[in-house]
Amino acid sequence: MATTISDTTAANTSSTSTSTSSSKVSITGLGSGLDIDALVEVTVEAEKAAKQAQIDRLTTKTDTSISAVGTLKSAIEAFEASLTSLQTVSSSFDGLSASSSSSSVASVTAGSGAVAGSYSLEVTQLATASKVASASQEGGSSTTFASGGTLTVDVGDNASYDVEVSAGASLTQIRDAINDQLSSTAGISANIVTDSSGARLVLSSETTGEGTDLYVSGTGDLAALNINVDDEGNHSLTQQSGSAAGYITAAGNASYKLDGLELSSSSNTVTALSGLSIKLASEGSSTLTVATNTDGLKESINTFVTAYNTLLTVTNALTKVTATSDGSSTEAGALVGDASVRSLLNSVRNALVEPSTSSGGLSVLAQLGVTTNKTDGTLSIDDDKLSSALETHAADVKSFFSGDNGLLGRLKSVTEPYTATGGLLATRTEALQTTKAQLTEQQEALDRRIESLTTMLYTKYNNMDTLIAQLSATSESILATLNALNNSDD
């Protein structure tokens, strides 16, 4: 009977010692008296710590590097955009600038070969383009031309264009055919004007100047649309009047005077003065002035210096080692010691100091009062020296910066391999992303290994604790039997 009681006690002891969950088997240690959870946790952490620390360290370093490379790429691209802008605007580094005292009469821009001075301009007539109208068609815009055929449009004696018209086409359809075939290629457009007498086909040319009047002749019943041609089909300018065909505006040259010299031009954009492009806008008088472009040159040089300094500020932040605010330690930039950044900066500086051989007497930035700060490599401008230098070298600045093998071009040739699609920085980012993916795989593998280890440890400790509980129960049962025997002998 004692044995039965002891067996029940052993079973209860064993069952009380364990509890089961869906994730793991946890033992309270009642059988062995050990803190099983603590033992497993310490063992797992000891196994995991070194590898986890390595993964965390490398992940942080990789994320920081990806961010830093992205920052560097953005800074270089912003620098390139500034250089491109300075190169694209043709007047950025022009040594001379031109102005008009009356922009309503004429505007003017200075280019290569311009000479400083002041010029008197008098515009007596603007260049005009031909505009002509057909005779009125009593049927209005819906008038049809049964025969169809070919409508020939001559631009003076210089060019001739044929417009094919289908049989039975209306005046509206003829207008559309002219616009479709001649608007983009010949600069000739058509419209329809309607009044009480009927509808007229009106043609306008974009070409100005004498000898560019429009002449229209048609085959078959399209002859009703003839303009400025006689009965024999010869050119014959006739001013439009009443419902008849003729020119509304005759093509003509611009007439103007420069410093009293009478001149003529087929276009309202004239280049009579060397290096100047003058756009005539209306009849009247204006004074054209060409002078040193001091303000414009200063603005462009300042724009360049600002762009360069912005790039240097970013790279310095990424590559410098600086002391903390209390001086107790140092903080390193994300790309400290990076070979690609070091190579970039060296190449940029070499391009910056390389003497120009194609810009007259201007060969280095220092001649313009632009010098390098020894502390951080940024540029600074001495405005007084710059003003003085522009008095001598204004005409050389453009070729120095944007001419063949100019400073802007040299700098772009240095930076483009870094920012190009598939370039150095893109390749670097791709490699870092690959490293990050590998670290993610390592983390997942570590998590699986630790989970397996945890399960194994709990299983071992569970088995041990159960065995100890069973041994303890057996020992108690034997002792109880022996005690019972001793009591019966008495």
Q: How many CB atoms lie within 10 A of CB 440?
A: 12
Distance CA(153)–CA(209), nearest Å, equals 17
Burial 276-296 (b: 16+ CB within 10 A, else e): bebebbeeeebebebebbeeb
Contact 73, 419 (CB under 8 A): yes
Look up residue 282 and give its DSSP letter: S
Q: Please give the sequence-ordered ranges of beta strands (E in DSSP) within 126-236, or none if there are none.
A: 129-133, 144-145, 149-155, 159-165, 169-170, 188-195, 198-208, 214-218
Asked if 276 contacts 288 with a C-beta cutoff of 8 angstroms, the reply is yes
Q: Which residue ranges make up each domain of the chain?
A: 1-95+294-484, 96-126+254-292, 129-249
Residue 388: φ, ψ to 5°: -65, -40
The answer to whether 329 touches 94, Cβ cutoff 8 Å, is no
Q: What's the predicted TM-score (pTM) here? A: 0.64
Distance, in Å, from the CA atom of 247 to the CA atom of 303, rounded to the nearest integer, reads 53
Residues 333, 339, 344, CA angle at the centre, nearest 5°?
A: 90
First to last CA, the chain: 19
What kind and span of H or E run contains 191? strand 188-195
CA torsion through residues 9, 12, 13, 14, sign: positive
Q: Which tokens sit at 354?
A: 């390389």
458: closest CA among 16, 14, 27? Answer: 27
Non-local (6+) Cβ contacts of 115 within 8 A are: 96, 274, 275, 290
CA angle 150, 154, 156 (to 5 degrees): 165
Structure tokens at 164: 């094919």
The pLDDT, as a whole number, for residue 34 is 77
Using H for helix, E for strand and C for coil, what is the string for 161-184? EEEEECCCEEHHHHHHHHHHHHHH
pLDDT of residue 329: 63
Token code pair at residue 107 = 């505007």
Closest CA to 312 of 366, 365, 377: 377
Q: What is the DSSP letter of 116?
A: -
Q: Which residue in 95, 121, 98 sits closest to 108, CA to CA?
A: 98
Sign of CA dihedral 461, 462, 463, 468: positive
Phi, psi (deg, nearest 5) at residue 330: -125, 155
What's the rounded Cα separation, in Å, for the pair 250 and 126? 12
Greatest alpha-carbon pair distance for the chain in Å reads 161
Mean pLDDT in order along the chain per 10 residues (490 residues): 38 40 48 79 91 93 90 92 87 86 95 87 97 95 93 94 95 96 95 94 96 95 95 92 95 96 96 92 96 90 94 89 67 80 91 89 93 92 94 88 90 92 90 94 94 91 84 84 76
Enter the tokens of residue 170.
């209306």
pLDDT value at residue 430? 92
Q: What is the DSSP letter of 406?
A: -
CA–CA separation, 435 and 441 (whole Å): 10
Q: What is the amino acid identity at position 232?
A: E
Q: What is the DSSP string of 323-344?
A: E-TTSSSEEE-TTTT-HHHHHH
- Rounded CA-CA distance 273/214 in Å is 31
Residue 330's pLDDT is 66
Q: Residue 216's beta-bridge partner residues? A: 153, 227
pLDDT of residue 159: 94
Rounded Cα distance between 226 and 149, Å, is 13
The number of residues in the chain equals 490
